[in-house]
Structure 1
Amino acid sequence: MHRPSSTAQGYGPRHRARFRAAVLRRDPRCVLCRKALATEADHYPLSRRTLVERGLDPDDPQHGRGLCKPCHSRETAEHQPGGWAAQQGPAY
């Protein structure tokens, strides 16, 4: 299955300028391990997809938290098993 680009998935310039920048500015250290610098802006507690489905602004920094890469990968694996392709359902 072809995975759309990050921009096609809604992670374009507006997302980077507004959401990611603000989340990482607010949370310079990972909010989970509190040891490493935050390098990932994670949608939390609702996923980007859920925010969009509910008509909420997924680029609003209040819907995010700053995580380091290892914590972000662990959280994604735990809460989104199988990754992007598994969440899309079967390809018919």
Structure 2
Amino acid sequence: MDFSDALRALKAGRCMARGSWVEPGKYIYRVPANTSLEDGSSAEHSATHLFYRPAKGARGLVEPYTPLPYTPLPDALEAGDWYLVEPRKGSGAPG
């Protein structure tokens, strides 16, 4: 699926990953504006945010983790290797 399909899935509350990512278990998810995050912080902005969940066991990852912002690069916008994933429990992602 391409990024436009992935974006529609993110808007529907799903989590997405790319086949080319070398870190198994990494994925992105969408947090709508004015939504409280699991860690107690909030996205109190007029815009929606994309966050990514690093792969479990990623270097420097401390549980519980702080959501990290995700900005797609041009290669991600043009990629056709996006796929749906189920979020890990306690990740802060929807699901």
Scaled by the length of structure 1, what TM-score is found? 0.27
Scaled by the length of structure 2, what TM-score is found? 0.27
Query: Which is richer in helix?
Result: 1
Higher-Rg structure is 1
- Determine which structure has greater relative contact order: mean sequence separation of CA pairs < 8 Å that are 6+ residues apart, divided by chain length: 2
